[in-house]
Amino acid sequence: DVKVTQSSRYLVKRTGEKVFLECVQDMDHENMFWYRQDPGLGLRLIYFSYDVKMKEKGDIPEGYSVSREKKERFSLILESASTNQTSMYLCASRPPSGGDQPQHFGDGTRLSIL
Amino acid sequence: RKEVEQDPGPFNVPEGATVAFNCTYSNSASQSFFWYRQDCRKEPKLLMSVYSSGNEDGRFTAQLNRASQYISLLIRDSKLSDSATYLCVVNGPYGNKLVFGAGTILRVKS
């Protein structure tokens, strides 16, 4: 079974803080993703990475950055947290494109910015 | 137009009912299709992949219509435990990125 592990289930931070969300997968997947999910808006892609040190902007990258130094780890960084970044953050991984490979998600991190 | 569109519902059905959801997608080049299930405050989990010829998994049947660019999910003999949000997913313009619909809420009542 694929295991995607996010470092925290719940996190509370203050406005202006630098926040790190960590994600680790154990299936040697090339592709990793960060989403946020808000009521009524569904899943929105923030950033994704298709290989070590590679990254691509998703639909809503503003206010975020990412780091992929090792294949198994994909970090999401809020450079200066703001209250509108309060959300559920979901990490996912997927094998290389082609075929009908699904994505596997971590448990999610509920982040509150005060 | 959104890349993947779903009726948000909610669909309120009694136990034992048959319920169907449809989903339309805009990218005619999409090759991979899935249905995910998401319980309240939990992560999305793969329910089933959708194959060109249609496929069935127990009480669940998925269909793909490429000409009209929609996929469907049929749930027979609904259970209380089927209550969840069902997400339609297709691969995007770049093969390694999946696009998620906003989800359809199903509530099964006794």
pLDDT tens string B36-86: 999 998 999 999 999 988 999 999 999 999 999 999 999 999 999 999 999
Q: Distance (Å) from the C-alpha of residue A71 to the closest C-alpha of chain B?
A: 16
Other C-beta atoms lying within 10 Å of the C-beta of residue B97: 18
Distance CA B79, CA B75 (A): 9
Which SS3 state, helix, strand or coil, does residue A22 take? coil
Per-residue pLDDT band for B29 (boundaries 50, 70, 90) equals: confident
Query: Which tokens hold the place of B32?
Result: 């991979």
Note whether B97 contacts A45, CB cutoff 8 Å. Answer: yes
* pLDDT at residue B92 tops 80: no
Note whether B43 contacts A103, CB cutoff 8 Å. Answer: no
CA quadruple A27, B104, A83, A47: dihedral, nearest 10:
40
pLDDT for res A39: 85
Phi-psi region of A4 (alpha: psi -120 to 50; beta: other; left: phi over 0): beta
Closest-CA residue of chain B to A95: B96
In chain A, helix, strand, coil percent, each to 5? 5, 50, 45
Phi-psi region of B58 (alpha: psi -120 to 50; beta: other; left: phi over 0): left
The rounded Cα B77 to chain-centroid distance in angstroms is 17
pLDDT for res B1: 72
Residues A20-79 pLDDT 10s: 999 999 988 999 999 999 987 889 999 999 999 999 999 999 999 999 999 999 999 999
pLDDT for res B96: 67
* pLDDT at residue B107 tops 70: yes
Are A80 and A18 in contact by the 8 Å Cβ rule? The answer is: yes
Task: State the Rg of chain B over Cα.
Answer: 13
Among B43, B51, B89, the residue with its CB nearest the CB of A90 is B43
Whether the CB of B65 is below 8 Å from some CB of chain A: the reply is no
Note whether B101 contacts A42, CB cutoff 8 Å. Answer: yes
Closest-CA residue of chain B to A44: B100
Per-residue pLDDT band for A101 (boundaries 50, 70, 90) equals: confident
Whether the CB of B87 is below 8 Å from some CB of chain A: the reply is yes
* pLDDT at residue A6 tops 80: yes
Per-residue pLDDT band for B98 (boundaries 50, 70, 90) equals: confident
